[in-house]
Amino acid sequence: MNSRRLLFLLPLVLLAAAVAGFWAMLTGMQRGSFDPRGVPSALIGRPAPAFTLPALEGSGKPSFSSEDLRAAAREGPVLVNFFASWCVPCLVEHPHLMRLAAEGVPVFGINYRAGGRDDPGAVDWLRRHGDPYRRIGVDHGGRVAIDFGTYGVPETYLIDREGIIRWRMAGPITDQILADDLRPLLRRYR
Amino acid sequence: MDGVREGPDRPLAAVLKSTQRGGSTRRGGSTRRGGSTRRGGHACPPHPLQRARLPLVAALVTALALPPAHAVLDPREMLPDPAQEARARDIGRGLRCLVCQNQSIDDSNAELARDLRRIVRERIAAGDTDDEVVRFIVDRYGEFVLLRPPLNAMTIALWASPALLFGLGALSTWLYLRRRRPAQSAPAELSAEERARLKGLLTE
């Protein structure tokens, strides 16, 4: 019977689909565009939350509030970057942030201090690796991080001229992410 | 969490107590504690095995009867009102810790979980209803934060999949059995014509 013959092909077809799926997943994981533990941000398309943060003492940079962020965003898209000195992936993306800052993209830094954890090495870390931030705020207790829906460091948000969050990267900005996602978005919202 | 670092020659009652306390914790330690109970028992001379078993069984029974221990053990984190604290724990059990992902914020020791537990308690103390507290978190983290996903267009496949799989199984079983039945049933009765022919052959 012909239709029964076709039934024998079904496992093969399923296998091919699984192979294609896994291949897409693995290449995505390799280039950083797919994170199996990734959670889509609930804040995309919504205005950045309201906050006021204290300054990072010793950094020589002023602190900022959501109003400052909004004012800066009126000139063009801004990045908000959650970082901590103990966070290794932050170091991975650091050169990219330095380059973006040198190109004139305003990067606002938020020193993430969840769960009452302190980050005494933050100033030293910036001195050693360079400071890409226009302004730096300290998020004691991770309150602002929760308002942003952040669940780890590093996380980077792109805010457009209207003050709307357009993009969120949970994890380090890699070469690929920069070239494929962030640069096109910076152009689009310019 | 605490009580793991205990010396081998602690009094039996203390060992038993710590086993009760931690026996229901999901993470680590319980086997080590069980071991220390046994060790304590072996120190008693007359009937080591008998003596060792009794406290172990008692400890196990009590441990099973106790409600599960939670990461929230810091009394500073808890709300003064026990009813509000119970609500906070109920809510916390239903919220996913996004760092560990398969633990609730109540079970997780991650810093984010601690911050979220605090926010849940702050909202409750401020007079929010349970729904309002959950909405506050979902507004920031999306529905993935709910350990029990709501039934909506996005999750319908998830919720329907058990029924679909059961239906598929039932259908294939039915099809399989229907196809097999004719082969298994007894051969058809002989027709009158065949019977006459058989009779002819037999009488020949």
Strand duo A165-170 + A78-83: pairing? unpaired
The pLDDT assigned to B51 comes to: 53
Cβ under 8 Å to B: A residues 30-49: 37, 39-43
Contacts of B72 in chain A (CB under 8 A): none
> Is the pLDDT confidence value at A180 over 60?
yes
Most confident of A38-42, A58-62, B99-103: A58-62
Shared-domain flag, residues A86 and A165: yes
pLDDT, tens digit, 9 for 90 and up, residues B26-60: 333 333 333 333 333 233 344 444 555 666 666 66
Q: How confident is the model at residue A37 (pLDDT cuts 50, 70, 90)?
A: confident
**Of residues A42, A117, A141, nearest to B140 (C-beta):** A42
Taking every pair of Cα atoms in chain A, the longest distance, rounded to a whole number of angstroms, is 80
Are the beta carbons of A142 and B141 separated by less than 8 Å?
no
The pLDDT assigned to A38 comes to: 74
Written as six digits, the tokens of B189 are 């009765």
Residue A150 domain-assigned?
yes
Q: Does B111 touch chain A (CB under 8 A)?
A: yes
With CA atoms as reference, the chain A residue closest to B98 would be: A151
Shared-domain flag, residues A104 and A13: no
Q: How confident is the model at residue B15 (pLDDT cuts 50, 70, 90)?
A: very low
pLDDT, tens digit, 9 for 90 and up, residues A103-160: 999 999 999 998 777 899 999 999 999 999 999 999 998 899 999 999 889 999 999 9
The pLDDT assigned to B52 comes to: 57
Residue A50 domain-assigned?
no
Question: For the residues B119-131, what does the mean pLDDT come to?
Answer: 94
Written as six digits, the tokens of A123 are 């100033």
The pLDDT assigned to B47 comes to: 44
The pLDDT assigned to B27 comes to: 36
Q: Does A4 touch chain B (CB under 8 A)?
A: no
Q: How many CB pairs under 8 A join A and B?
A: 52
Number of domains in chain A: 2
Residue A179 domain-assigned?
yes
Question: For the residues B192-203, what does the mean pLDDT come to?
Answer: 88
The pLDDT assigned to B42 comes to: 31
Q: How confident is the model at residue A1 (pLDDT cuts 50, 70, 90)?
A: low
Write the DSSP string, A69-108. HHHHHTTS-EEEEEE-TT-HHHHHHHHHHHHHHHTT--EE
Shared-domain flag, residues A78 and A157: yes
Shared-domain flag, residues A127 and A179: yes
Shared-domain flag, residues A117 and A160: yes
Tell me how far apart the alpha carbons of residues A105 and A186 are, in angstroms, rounded to a whole number: 9
Report the mean per-residue pLDDT for chain A.
Answer: 92
Please count the helices (runs of H) and the strands (runs of E) in chain B. 8, 0
Are the beta carbons of A146 and B115 separated by less than 8 Å?
yes
The pLDDT assigned to B48 comes to: 45
Residue A99 domain-assigned?
yes
% residues pLDDT > 70 (chain A): 99
Residue A4 domain-assigned?
yes
Of residues B11 and A104, the one with the higher pLDDT is A104
Cα A27 to Cα A23, A33, A177: the distances in Å are 6, 9, 13
Shared-domain flag, residues A23 and A105: no
B82-145 belongs to CATH 3.30.565.10: no
Residue A38 domain-assigned?
no
Residue A42 domain-assigned?
no
How do the domains of chain B map onto residue ranges? 12-65, 82-145, 156-203
Question: For the residues B179-189, what does the mean pLDDT come to?
Answer: 69
% residues pLDDT > 90 (chain B): 31
Of residues B186 and B132, the one with the higher pLDDT is B132
Shared-domain flag, residues A5 and A90: no
Q: Does A69 touch chain B (CB under 8 A)?
A: no
Q: Does B139 touch chain A (CB under 8 A)?
A: yes
With CA atoms as reference, the chain B residue closest to A140 would be: B115
Contacts of A117 in chain B (CB under 8 A): 111
Domain harbouring A159, CATH code: 3.40.30.10
The whole domain housing A5 covers 1-31
**How close A114 gets to chain B, by Cα (Å)?**
6
Is residue A81 within 8 Å of residue A169, measured between CB atoms? no
Residue A164 domain-assigned?
yes
Shared-domain flag, residues A70 and A25: no
Chosen for mutation from A86, A146, A153 (greatest number of chain B CBs closer than 10 Å) is: A146
Report the mean per-residue pLDDT for chain B.
Answer: 72
